[in-house]
Structure 1
């Protein structure tokens, strides 16, 4: 259930309107909270404050907050455009979900709503003398929050959308997806059988990417209908109507699922137009590879970014190797069989594009061979095997792309491991 909540929470975070709406509701509640000071037993202790001074302060806040909010939106849109153009459009959801920017925008809009509501209530004598002082105190507090939020936001917006910041966000999201998959290597189910499962195949009519498998609901349905479910499409798979997403194996041969039962099982597989980072660690590797490939294009010609991405990939694969050598976690969903991630596929996603587009750049080719050497020395055999295979492929590409014999010798020397 925690995994389901996390998936939906991540989708909510990608919506720019959610936090401003919540802050608006809190601001309206805060404006009316000042009336509590007018209750008997409290108002006697409140000092007197000029009503006109509070009105002036609220008018100042109301006149400036909307301008600042519009300025912040313009800056955020520019940062989003920069992230999509300089890195890759696939990184846009991560930049959009930046907490600092969303919190700052929500604060500015919320304070504007607070000042307008409080000003209307004040001019209509909604507050008594104690309430006016409480409103004055709240306004000073809100003003201090705005100043702190603005300073923090300015520090963040200077980096938001920049290429290095985007790479860091993608690395963080990919590392989180890796860690989640390491704790549940088969999404909490059992390892898929090596043989082809026999049973009834489940298809979906949609043509889209598989974003998530609702393992909790799938387990409940499997127990209800007394069957096993062999998952054939993992998150990140591009699904089509002719491609089975799962196969149902009946344990009780006398009972058969109808169309409604098969549809209920199929609905446990969430499809959408785009891939997400949650249950799909390979997507993060694809995005990082895209960033490096764009940097290596003739229009950009930035091999330093590609080298930075290679270092990021090495860190991620070290994390993967360390996690794979831990103790295997317990099975949570014993009726569901899920294929695991294959290291060769992970390397294909991460390094194929970089090796192809950076084959003619000596600094990138050598750095790539050093990365493969580092990964092969970890001691995790599947990773070492994939590193050697990709080292040979990258060397072959460099030999075809490079014209200077000295450059080719340098790459061969780095690939000797």
Structure 2
């Protein structure tokens, strides 16, 4: 039985498939064609106004001839937006662009309207409907026209901004914020925290049979497997970890009852492993994607420090969200008492977010100063780990700037901004 968390992950994967919504709309449009039969079956011919067959055929013919062209145009525009997102931002942002609801709804509406018009036109020309049915098809066709027009207007506004870097930064920020928010409410994903004596590497290691990134962990399945063998497990590969056949996914840290019944696949099957990382359960991937957008903007070919500065502000917002206090009643309860999961390390999050920007923006005074201001803002928190990490990265960024800059006034300006790290 799938857990709620697994269902959420599965639905998120479906949103990245362009064929799902068009398929649903095609099925609904075919079913909608026969709604007109209900008017005939209910005997409404005497109370509904008459509509000529030619008028219904004309409307359906116009829709059939135009919707396929519009759908083809929509696909071309979407592909261009995806290419722009990949070239201007980072290829890691493509799943976020593909999952855009407005764009998927527009493509689905155009294809669904085309299928509806073809099926309805065939049905009308073969005398499937009486006078009440024709009136029903006339009203339904006008309704589809209205939906298509409204959808097209919304889609034109969205497609004009879909591939822009600013829009992609917003999508990446939302994806990273959602992932950080879920981990903030459940630091150990509803399992126990890893205790110090569980980090010594002892126990039976369970490795995967494939190579790739961990995308999702079904903790409910791990809990069931551990209960069946009366043991406890420690997860060693969080979502986002690159694993090989020699890299353990978890360790069983207690004796296994009924060792002859032990099957490593019972535990490894709880891990979804693929060739790519995903945003939903991997907060570090969202931070990394934002860092890549800023890093690409700092390349000599693009030379856009303003985008890097924009991303730095976005990262400060995300880390402010991460360290903000949370009421205890909003923390997820421990439901998997036979599974231990490590918490995210702030230093790792800072490495993903700021290291590349500090390295490649070290020679730009405006980027270096804004980066030092970001570290200063994050050091003014009540989180000791974040304060220490912010000061550490401030000193590292200052050292890089001192080596990369050639103008002493620029170096002095960065040093003055970074003075807090020495406190």
Q: TM-score, normalised by structure 1?
A: 0.97
In 2: Cα distance, 1:58 partner to 1:18 partner: 25
**Is it true that 1:415 corresponds to 2:421 in the alignment?**
no
Deviations 1:45-103 (A, max 9, x none): 21101110110111011111111101111000000000000000001000011110100
In 2: Cα distance, 1:64 partner to 1:329 partner: 51
**Is it true that 1:239 corresponds to 2:229 in the alignment?**
no
2:285 to 277, 283, 286: 283
Checking the alignment, whether the CA contact within 8 Å between 1:197 and 1:230 is kept in structure 2 is no
**Is it true that 1:54 corresponds to 2:56 in the alignment?**
yes
Hey, what does 1:352 align to over in structure 2? 355
In 1: Cα distance, 2:62 partner to 2:98 partner: 30
In 2: Cα distance, 1:181 partner to 1:42 partner: 57
**Is it true that 1:363 corresponds to 2:386 in the alignment?**
no
In 1: Cα distance, 2:154 partner to 2:206 partner: 50
Hey, what does 1:198 align to over in structure 2? 202
**Is it true that 1:92 corresponds to 2:67 in the alignment?**
no
Shift of 1:326: 5.3
Deviations 1:338-396 (A, max 9, x none): 11000001000000000000000000000000000000002211111110000000000
Hey, what does 2:38 align to over in structure 1? 36
Hey, what does 1:26 align to over in structure 2? 28
Shift of 1:184: 1.2
| 1:147-296 correspondence runs (5 A) | 147-195=149-197, 196=200, 198-250=202-254, 254-256=257-259, 258=261, 261-296=263-298
CA 1:87–1:40: 2 relative to 1, 3 Å: closer
Shift of 1:242: 1.3
Deviations 1:231-255 (A, max 9, x none): 1111111101111110113356x53
Shift of 1:205: 2.4
Checking the alignment, whether the CA contact within 8 Å between 1:182 and 1:323 is kept in structure 2 is no
In 1: Cα distance, 2:96 partner to 2:269 partner: 27
1:386 to 373, 389, 398: 389
CA 1:10–1:410: 2 relative to 1, 3 Å: same
Shift of 1:183: 1.4
Unaligned 5+ runs, structure 1: none
In 2: Cα distance, 1:233 partner to 1:65 partner: 48
Shift of 1:170: 0.4
**Is it true that 1:73 corresponds to 2:75 in the alignment?**
yes
Count of matched residue positions in the alignment of Structure 1 and Structure 2: 415
In 2: Cα distance, 1:156 partner to 1:269 partner: 36
Checking the alignment, whether the CA contact within 8 Å between 1:59 and 1:115 is kept in structure 2 is yes
Unaligned 5+ runs, structure 2: none
**Is it true that 1:119 corresponds to 2:138 in the alignment?**
no
Checking the alignment, whether the CA contact within 8 Å between 1:88 and 1:291 is kept in structure 2 is yes
What SS does the aligned partner of 1:263 have?
A: helix
Hey, what does 1:108 align to over in structure 2? 110
Deviations 1:83-139 (A, max 9, x none): 000000001000011110100000000001000100000000000010000000000
**Is it true that 1:141 corresponds to 2:143 in the alignment?**
yes
In 2: Cα distance, 1:181 partner to 1:369 partner: 27
The root-mean-square deviation of aligned C-alpha atoms, in Å, is 1.3
What SS does the aligned partner of 1:43 have?
A: coil
What SS does the aligned partner of 2:70 have?
A: helix
